[in-house]
A and B are shown apart, each in its own frame.
Chain A
């Protein structure tokens, strides 16, 4: 399903499921690092969730410094200017002002546009933000990146639309449990809606990744997982969504990695098997 990479600019993927806690932030954080470290890509990660789990997962302890120093964030991207910093009035928005450097090697970087807990709050008084503003900002400032990954909030809003506007692909994590497929029709509808209103925009579902984020039933299942997997397979077939063959195992290593605790990765160390399949699939 490879699109032309290179001159045309980065491949942009938003990680989304209108169901919460399925591993969106974990996957976005680990895919960005994998793309940078293993695939040698120049990467931008974007946190579109006011809960800022992706920001914390990539910045770890420095996130608190960022908060207290009032660094630039996704809030300013949607506001479309930098607020006055004591003299000079409002400043034009620049890529540098709203990105945090996570990893760097030679000329390549893993950058992050972090979120703040007051993200939606800061915009509450504003008129409804333009959902195209993120796409415009990315196209102006990040053409040289190879990959952009967007972590979405599970709540549908103008920011979900903003993520769609900016994306070539959608990646859908799902937990194989009873309520797993409930988010699917919502998401399918939300995508269909977007396509109806934006006929010129080709946005594809890159696929669905099974995340065994629970402990009960273990990684190889049991009847509950079997039932859930049948429902997932059926829904995906109905929607024409690909399911990645490599799954994410349940592992205590995932929450640890997100906190910056590298003492015990456990089966989270096997994340690369999915990551590798995913990037091969995208042709990156």
Chain B
């Protein structure tokens, strides 16, 4: 019998947990492990414990709304419960903050969903549909993902010869990677944000690999 390695054991344990509680609850519990200070456990409000147990789908079920909204809200709530939509507390926080809602004291995803509700109910069915379609994204923008998408689009473009004139330089790596050059070099570092920052002015201005090349327009 082959010996299980550590990864396999971990996967097995996690699978058991996911089977028992659902992915959403496990993700949330992990997040709570990350952020909770010892005192926090006792201060958790009653709502969030109950909600987490029932899932946010139950929350939506209790609310009054049009059938169209109900269908979409239930869809979103289900995805939320099983961890497909707004998978991390940071995603919920991002949603709330981009709507200028307070989210700094947020303790869990479910508590966050309660605060999202008034915003969600004021969105149109079309808006909700769009939100659902994109709600699986997690974390701040990832340059890797954007570069991949750009590369994909770039290949499409190169694949169509009529899309380029002879006078145009071929797409080189500089050009393909251009947006990546705007990356914040240490945005993910643990350096205190206002203190040990890299001087922005010392960064040479990136070369614009791609000036406008339309007749009569300047190329930088």
Interface residues of A (CB under 8 A from B): 20-21, 33, 37-38, 50-53, 56, 60-65, 67-68, 70, 101, 103-106, 109, 116-118, 120-126, 128-129, 153-159, 175, 177, 213-216, 250-253, 255-256, 259-264, 266-267
Contacts and interface: CB of A to CB of B under 8 A. Distances in A.
Given A67-B152, A118-B154, A262-B103, A61 B138 contact: yes
B217 A157 contact: yes
Given A62-B134, A125-B164, A260 B199 contact: no
A211 B168 CA distance: 36
Contacts of B216: 128, 158
Contact of A155 (B141, B163, B187, B220): B220
Contacts of A154: 208
Contacts of B138: 61
Given A120-B213, A259-B187, A262-B97, 16 more contacts: A50-B210, A51-B208, A53-B182, A56-B141, A64-B148, A105-B99, A106-B122, A117-B178, A118-B153, A155-B211, A215-B198, A216-B202, A260-B98, A261-B187, A262-B90, A262-B103
A37 B99 contact: yes
Interface stretch (B1-9, B13-21, B37-45, B123-131): B123-131
Majority SS of interface residues in chain A?
Answer: loop
18 contacts: A33-B100, A50-B210, A60-B141, A61-B138, A64-B141, A103-B98, A104-B124, A117-B153, A117-B179, A120-B210, A120-B214, A125-B162, A156-B218, A157-B212, A215-B197, A252-B197, A260-B139, A266-B193
Nearest to B134: A62
A38 B101 CA distance: 11
Contacts of B176: 117
B150 A214 contact: no
A95 B203 CA distance: 38
Interface in B90-142: 90, 93-94, 97-100, 103, 119, 122-124, 126-127, 130, 134, 137-142
B211 A116 contact: no
Given A70-B153, A259-B141, A262-B94, A124 B214 contact: yes
B34 interface: no
A128 B214 contact: yes
B61 interface: no
Interface in B161-220: 162-165, 168, 175-176, 178-179, 182, 184, 187, 193-194, 197-203, 205-206, 208, 210-218, 220
A157 to B, nearest CB: 4
Give the top 9 A-B pairs by smallest Cβ distance, nearest first: A214-B201, A252-B193, A67-B149, A261-B140, A157-B212, A61-B137, A255-B184, A37-B100, A157-B217
A62 B137 contact: yes
A97 to B, nearest CB: 13
Interface of B: 90, 93-94, 97-100, 103, 119, 122-124, 126-127, 130, 134, 137-142, 145-146, 148-150, 152-154, 157, 162-165, 168, 175-176, 178-179, 182, 184, 187, 193-194, 197-203, 205-206, 208, 210-218, 220
B60 to A, nearest CB: 18
A156 B220 CA distance: 9
A255 B187 contact: yes
Nearest to B103: A262
Contacts of B103: 262
B210 A68 contact: no
B218 A21 contact: no
Nearest to B157: A118
A20 B211 CA distance: 13
